[in-house]
Amino acid sequence: MIATADARPAVARLRRTRWLLTALITAITALCLILLGLVAATIDARSRATAVDNALDRVVAGVYRGVEYYPEDGGFDVTEIRDDNLARGETAVMVFGSESDGQWVQLYSHLPSWLPGDAGLTAVTDAASIADDTVYRDATDRAGRPVRLAAMSVSWDDPTVQTVIIVGTNPGAFDRDRALLLWALVVGGSALVALSSVAGHVLSGRSMRQAVALLEEQERFLGDAAHELRTPLATLRLVTEAHRRDPHELERALTDSRALGNRMERLVDDLLARARMQAGVTTMERVQLLLDQLTESVVEEFQRADIVVRTSPTVVQGDPNLLGLAVRNLIENAITHGAANRDAPIEVHVADGRVSVRDHGPGLNPQLSSSPFQRGVTAGRGSGIGLALVAWIAQLHGGTATMEPAAGGGAIVRLMLPPGSPNR
């Protein structure tokens, strides 16, 4: 995984890219939420302002109906207001009256502490008295809290007589509702930003796993190629240098060089086949083929008399090139580990979807018996790539690869495939 410590520069760059993507996702999410929060707050403020003004209008209209003026009885009558629920609810109400002397007289008061002081009330009263419609103001109450005011003037038959009704919102409710909205935006937005950051980090890590796997496979391929090609190239150089001045040994040098070239070619084919398959560049072909004939054609490539083949007709479905590569690696493994006993043959047996190859070498190393097909595991000869490819090819075809000691010495390596049935 990318999160693990790794000193490789390429993986370190991928790790930095992952954190950069996480930061970018977090920044974009935060920016979008901030913009959405501002839009939501603006829309909410407008809708709240409209709702508050409508509520104040209802109170003003209700209080207006409760004010009467009787000049013959001595002026204003607000008795009905005192019995009106609208004038005694969660809204501050004050009613002022003015006669010919022009002085405003308080006629009714409910929750006056929610309204501005005398100077503020006088300013609102004066503004409403000369306006043709309801006057709305944002102000602060006597404790300094924000309130919304609505004021409306009432005229009578006598033009020197006026009444002004002032109503105000509950400042505590105003602050509480706004605080709840702000907390919801801040807490909810922070939670969403944190969630998007975690999700972005996880998803970016998952998306980069394949890149890391391909990078590891590339580095493995380069390491295997460098390791395996170093020996045959060195041997080729020694062969050509040792025999370049001896005409009698020229044919032998050419034969050895050709054998080393074929070995390097097979090695490169092995490495490229696995690298291309795992990188997804090529896909495995599935055709019906005779495993016994495929094995016999691979054995003929070695041109060795010490390889004994016994086959029975067996049909499998798979990739001819990959299966040929697996059989070739089995035989090369037997040749490598059976070299200690050159008089004993290499026995190849094909039947029932199985290819068994036995050598008469030193047998299975007890220290390697638990993982003989693991890449890099070797008993001291070869690099362990060949058998690892055999196991990988067997797995691709829905089969298995096994190794066990042979009776009388040596080892038997088997490639077992499902007869005539593709891997679904």
**Dihedrals φ, ψ of 384, to 5°?**
85, 5
Residue 326 lies in a domain: yes
Choose one of 135, 169, 203: the last residue of a domain. Answer: 169
What's residue 227's pLDDT? 56
Inter-residue contact 294 to 319 (CB < 8 Å): no
Cα(242)–Cα(52) distance, integer angstroms: 104
Task: Return the CATH number at 161.
Answer: 3.30.450
Q: How do residues 254-302 score in pLDDT, each as one tens digit?
A: 766 777 777 677 667 766 766 676 666 667 788 899 999 999 998 888 7
Report which of 68, 57, 60, 115 is spatially closest to residue 87, judged by C-alpha positions. Answer: 60
Longest dimension (CA), the chain: 150
Q: What is the CATH number of the domain that holds 398?
A: 3.30.565.10
> Beta strand pairing status for 346-351 and 146-155?
unpaired
Strand 354-359 to strand 346-351: parallel, antiparallel, or no bridges (unpaired)? antiparallel
Contacts of 97 (CB under 8 A, 6+ apart): 69, 75, 76, 104, 105, 107, 161, 162, 163, 164
User: Distance (Å, rounded) from C-alpha 402 to C-alpha 313?
Assistant: 22
Q: Is residue 208 part of a domain?
A: no
Query: How many Cα atoms sit within 13 Å of 123 on the Cβ side?
Result: 11
Q: Last residue of a domain, which of 144, 169, 194?
A: 169
What pLDDT score was predicted for residue 231?
57
**What average pLDDT does this structure show over 175-192?**
79
Last-in-domain residue among 124, 151, 169: 169
- Asked if residues 316 and 397 have their Cβ atoms less than 8 Å apart, the reply is yes
If one compares 323 and 180, the residue with the highest pLDDT of the two is 323
29 has a pLDDT exceeding 70: yes
Does a structural domain hold residue 328?
Answer: yes
Report the range of poorest mean pLDDT among 135-149, 177-191, 293-307: 177-191
Give me the phi and psi of 216, to 5 degrees please: -65, -40
d(C-alpha 290, C-alpha 350), whole Å: 10
Query: pLDDT confidence of 235, banded at 50, 70, 90?
Result: low
149-167 residue pLDDT tens: 999 998 887 777 888 999 9
pLDDT at 345 over 70: yes
**Domain assignment present for 401:** yes
> How many domains does the chain fold into?
2
Whether residue 256 is contained in a domain is answered as no
Q: How far apart are CA 345 and CA 237, in angstroms?
A: 31
Q: Strands, E, within 253-389: which ranges? A: 287-290, 307-311, 315-318, 346-351, 354-359
**Cα separation, 416 vs 219, whole angstroms:** 30
Residue 157 falls inside a structural domain: yes
In a domain, 242, yes or no: no
Task: For residue 381, tell me if it sits in a domain.
Answer: yes
What one-character DSSP code corresponds to residue 91?
S
| DSSP H helix total and E strand total for the chain | 8, 14
Give the pLDDT score at 146.
Answer: 87
The predicted model scores a pTM of: 0.48
Q: What is the mean pLDDT of residues 306-332?
A: 89
DSSP state for residue 419 in the 8-state scheme: B
| Per-residue pLDDT, 304 | 79
- Tokens 């590569």 locate to 325
Q: Which domain holds residue 97?
A: 69-169
| Least confident interval from 41-55, 182-196, 219-233, 344-358 | 219-233
